Amino acid sequence: MTSPAEMANAIRFLTMDAVEAAQSGHPGMPMGMADVATVLFTRFLKFDASRPDWADRDRFVLSAGHGSMLLYALGYLTGYPDLSDIAELRNFRQLGARTAGHPEHGHVAIAETTTGPLGQGIANAVGFALGERMLAARHGDLVDHHTYVIAGDGCLMEGISQEAISLAGHWRLSKLIVLWDDNHICIDGDTALSGSDDQLARFAASNWDVARVDGHDHEAIAQAIAAARASDRPSLIACRTTIGRGAPSKGGTEKVHGAPLGAEEIAAARRALAWPHAPFEIPAEILAAWRAAGRRGAEARAAWEAKLAAAPGRAAFEQALTNPLPEGWRDAVLAFKRKIAAEQPKWATRKASQQALEVLTEAIPALIGGSADLTHSNLTVTKATKSVTPEDFSGRYLHYGVREHGMAAIMNGLALHGGFIPYGGTFLIFANYLWPALRMSAMMQQRVLYVLTHDSIGLGEDGPTHQPIETLAALRATPGVLVFRPCDPVETIEAYEAALEAQGPSVLALSRQNLPTLRTIHSDDNLTRCGGYILAEADLEERKVTLIATGSEVSLALEAKDLLEAQGIGTAVVSLPCWELFERQTKEYRSAVLGEGTVRVAVEALGTFGWERWVGTEGAVIGMTGFGASGPAPALYQHFGITAQAVADAALARL
């Protein structure tokens, strides 16, 4: 009969062997948390390793992603199809292997989310647990699962963890259970070097249930998890562990955190734990015990499938999870565009966004909103999106508080969970608070919409701390994000349409200040989907100048065009709302739009970094070269020389 201790040791040796083979990796955490993971996966976690796509499975998040070998060992042992071959573990950290240095969503099914940057996982998990409650509010008992997290000291030190635990406690996400690897060791040495927080008191202050156990005592762990499952609040279980448990001389020290143990230490561990088996060799009996644990949930999964098959809400549930964009949603987009072209309102694009969201949230039930406490500035709430509260998860609007980073990571969790397309608002400048999570949206290609208003010095009096300069460049430099800066209501809803079609995240950079409607002739085509296009061709026969602008500066470019054409210079205006989509067009299309051989001047009321891509080294860029200032927006545009005249002058100087 295989003992739980032997099963845990299987994790330990797979970890030691894989890190040793790779000569790279982090053995300490998987070895320290092997007992906790064994208890969780063999006695509590609701899953069927053969069917990782079971919608109502419990979610397990390894927030301390450097301990990726824990996940891969569990995947192999329980028999996830994509990890059931030991060769995957032998290839740990090699190019092309599924078993990447940190767990990557999409590489292995057991990785519910990509983790590694500390604190992201625990915040994603809050999104998972929130998604569970919100989906259950819509689909009843088809949805009823837990979210478990293993987090390390680093996760709890990162500020994002506070944002996440505050919200989890506020929302009373009782099915969220965090197992903290309380090993007293960080990379620099003892955690006492850099902290003396009472973590249990801290979590309790945010309305969590808290407990402390010996992380190597299987029965104590099981009792704590059972108690946490019975709680009406989210739970933290501090699991007091020895990092690298099993390594006779390095265990319990920072030496075991992030480096191979070495052949000698591993041999000593084999002796100490009475594990005579060769590297990567798991005795058949132990493997069988693990594989049986991996199928523990098979019956429950089959029962759930039967329930789903018979459920009256089956179609709605499946649609929510597989294709949350309902048939006909584009009709709403077209109707909106027609109306705008006819009425030509003078709206800030944040206002245009609100009007677009009214239409879209009405048409797309999966679309859920929120803001980092700037609802009335971002204009992100709509008639269809009533607030989610701790008492009622049927709402569609989340008050994240002033927690941009937590908001973004929670949106990632919501998107990964399935059933929702989340959007969240803050000021564009505060993209710098949420950047690490947005990067994860991009890496995981999750459909998360960032509604970022007050998108230039045009926000005015709030001054340089609030005026984005480098922000758009940073976002454009980030792979896998669509960055839209629409110029009017038509481009705004077109940007939403393109964002909703996309596989990955999108940013909508929106103005605070009012702007004219420029797309006054209705077209069924989504021109924004091309990334850039000629908004106004030269009125004079020959185009000599091409002015390129985005967002609030497109109307300014049109004024500059008038100035130039009054002097007999044929001038076209290109609206370039999305660089990334423009780059996907053919070279011919791009050349035709940009006017190869014409003088090119770009204008954007943010930093100029990166614009040489479109105007070349010979062109001009009118924009900001330093931080902004506090003052009314029109005064700032004058002061910083972002004017139609300056654009025209720059063109003239180059003709």
Query: Segment 593-622, which members bind a second copy (CB under 8 A)?
Result: 607, 609-610, 612-613, 616-617
User: Which member of 470, 537, 559, 562 binds a second copy (CB under 8 A)?
Assistant: 470
CA-based end-to-end distance of the chain: 86
CA dist 407 and 412 (Å) reads 9
Residue 465 beta carbon to a second copy: minimum distance, rounded to whole angstroms: 3
475 vs 490, beta carbon nearer a second copy: 475
Residue 403 beta carbon to a second copy: minimum distance, rounded to whole angstroms: 5
Length of the chain: 655
Residue 39 beta carbon to a second copy: minimum distance, rounded to whole angstroms: 27
148 vs 611, beta carbon nearer a second copy: 611
CB-based contacts of 347: which residues, under 8 Å, 6+ apart? 355, 488, 489, 514, 515, 517
Q: What is the DSSP letter of 236?
A: E
* 636 makes contact with a second copy (CB under 8 A): yes
Residue 410 beta carbon to a second copy: minimum distance, rounded to whole angstroms: 12
* 392 makes contact with a second copy (CB under 8 A): no
For 617, phi and psi rounded to 5 degrees? -75, -15
Number of residues that bind a second copy (CB under 8 A): 108
500-529 positions binding a second copy, by CB under 8 A: none
Other Cβ atoms closer than 10 A to 280: 15
Other Cβ atoms closer than 10 A to 244: 31
CA dist 576 and 531 (Å) reads 6
120-179 positions binding a second copy, by CB under 8 A: 153-155, 157-163, 166-167, 169-170
Tell me the one-letter amino acid at 301. Answer: R
User: Which member of 436, 537, 563, 643 binds a second copy (CB under 8 A)?
Assistant: 436
Interface region with a second copy, contact rule CB under 8 A, candidates 44-52, 293-301, 511-519, 635-643: 635-643
CA dist list (Å): 299 to 46, 217, 314, 328: 11, 29, 20, 38
104 vs 491, beta carbon nearer a second copy: 104
| Chain Cα centroid distance, residue 290 | 33
Interface region with a second copy, contact rule CB under 8 A, candidates 32-40, 292-300, 393-401, 503-511: 393-401
CB-based contacts of 438: which residues, under 8 Å, 6+ apart? 408, 431, 448, 450, 475, 478, 481, 505, 507
2 vs 387, beta carbon nearer a second copy: 387
What is the SS3 assignment for 130?
Answer: helix
- Encoded tokens for 567: 């002097």
CA dist 514 and 101 (Å) reads 48
Q: Which residues pair with 483 in a beta bridge?
A: 507
404-423 positions binding a second copy, by CB under 8 A: 405-406
User: Which member of 435, 522, 652, 654 binds a second copy (CB under 8 A)?
Assistant: 435
One of 104, 112, 254, 404 is an active-site residue; which one?
Answer: 404
Q: What is the dihedral angle through the alpha carbons of 415, 416, 418, 423, rounded to the nearest 10 degrees?
A: 0
Residue 645 beta carbon to a second copy: minimum distance, rounded to whole angstroms: 18
476-495 positions binding a second copy, by CB under 8 A: 476-480
332-351 positions binding a second copy, by CB under 8 A: none
Q: Is 362 a catalytic residue?
A: no
68-107 positions binding a second copy, by CB under 8 A: 93-97, 100-102, 104
10 vs 636, beta carbon nearer a second copy: 636
* 395 makes contact with a second copy (CB under 8 A): no
428 contacts 487 by C-beta, under 8 angstroms: no
457 vs 648, beta carbon nearer a second copy: 457
Tell me the one-letter amino acid at 519. Answer: R
371 vs 385, beta carbon nearer a second copy: 371
Beta strand pairing call for 147-151 and 59-62: parallel
* 465 makes contact with a second copy (CB under 8 A): yes
Q: Which residues are designated catalytic?
A: 404
